[in-house]
Amino acid sequence: MVLRRAVFVFVLAAGACGDDGGAVIDAPVVDMVVPVDFDNGSCGNMLRFTGEYVDWDSQTSFCGIFNAVIEVAGGGAMDSTAPNGRFDLCIPDAPTTRLDVMQPAGNSQCTVPAAAYTVPTIFIANKDVILSGAMFSGRAFTTERQTSFFQDQVGAAFDPAKAQVFVHVSGSAQTVTLAAAHGPAQVAIATGWEAGDTGTDVFFPNVDVGGGTTQLTVSNSTAGTGAIPLVAGTITNVTVGVVSPGL
């Protein structure tokens, strides 16, 4: 049985007011209601979390990460990635859920040179992003690519005492900002990577862990921003949703 959740975006008249996030809106809806048909699969009162886990350079030559295990942190639902990197599982109906990634045991099946994914990786699933219909997209580099990427793009070695943050923007290119200090931001382009913080796939290298979180800001984003976790020596993968101008 396929269950669906209907999610609605309300546009209010200028000057209207509402309560502070409660269920009752104390101002009329005057313009439009746009339904988003979210397929919740067979997850019932949980959330369906689906997306992809792909190689670092998939914008130039697509490569799914096969046989990684995605698991709700602390012990929960899990799923193994398909050859194209896709996964699909039910997670708690919470504002955010952390998922741990157990990397495949062998080398990548499609990178040259062949190498393994060894850097610890986590996913942050955001309820608002899921309900918006945005697809999660996470990445990781092999040990070989880690070395060359940091040498060629970052200009500094991978620092295991610091965190790494990859942000996928579901929608048009946006400017992505982290509050914590970090190395030079990199953006994925059709031919590889270049320095910058505006795009649909943005990476922040060697991020100061500090207290274990930082604030993520994205221009025109209404879902998935705010506090995200930082873990030393680990890639934090986040996907954010963007509202189209005029909504």
Q: What is the pLDDT of residues 3-49, one digit of tens each?
A: 455 444 433 444 444 444 444 444 443 333 333 456 787 899 999 99
Strand partners, 224: none
In terms of Cβ atoms closer than 10 Å to its own Cβ (0-12, 13-18, 19+), residue 37 is exposed
Q: pLDDT at position 107, please?
A: 96
Q: What is the pLDDT of residues 180-217, one digit of tens each?
A: 999 999 999 999 999 999 999 999 999 999 999 999 99
Q: Which amino acid is at 109?
A: Q
Question: How far is the C-alpha of 221 from the C-alpha of 62, rounded, in Å?
Answer: 26
Of 64, 150, 164, give the one whose Cα is nearest residue 111: 64
Q: Tell me where in the chain the CATH 2.60.40.1120 domain(s) lie.
A: 48-242
Strand partners, 22: none
Largest CA distance in the chain: 60
70 and 87 Cβ atoms separated by less than 8 Å: yes
Average pLDDT, the chain: 87
207 and 165 Cβ atoms separated by less than 8 Å: yes
Question: How far is the C-alpha of 12 from the C-alpha of 57, rounded, in Å?
Answer: 42
Q: In this model, does residue 148 exceed pLDDT 90? A: yes
- 181: Cβ–Cβ under 8 A, 6 or more apart, which residues? 207, 208
Q: What is the pLDDT of residues 95-113, one digit of tens each?
A: 999 999 999 999 999 999 9
Class of domain 48-242: mainly beta
Q: pLDDT at position 150, please?
A: 98
Q: pLDDT at position 221, please?
A: 73
What's the whole-number mean pLDDT along residues 62-91? 97
| Neighbouring C-beta atoms of residue 234, cutoff 10 Å | 20
Q: Which two tokens stand for residue 178?
A: 């982290």
98 and 124 Cβ atoms separated by less than 8 Å: yes
Report which secondary-structure segment, H or E, holds 147: helix 143-149
Q: Which two tokens stand for residue 202?
A: 């943005």
Q: In this model, does residue 69 exceed pLDDT 60? A: yes
Of residues 16 and 124, the one with the higher pLDDT is 124
Of 50, 48, 53, 14, give the one whose Cα is nearest residue 31: 14
- 170: Cβ–Cβ under 8 A, 6 or more apart, which residues? 129, 132, 134, 135, 137, 200, 239, 240, 241, 242
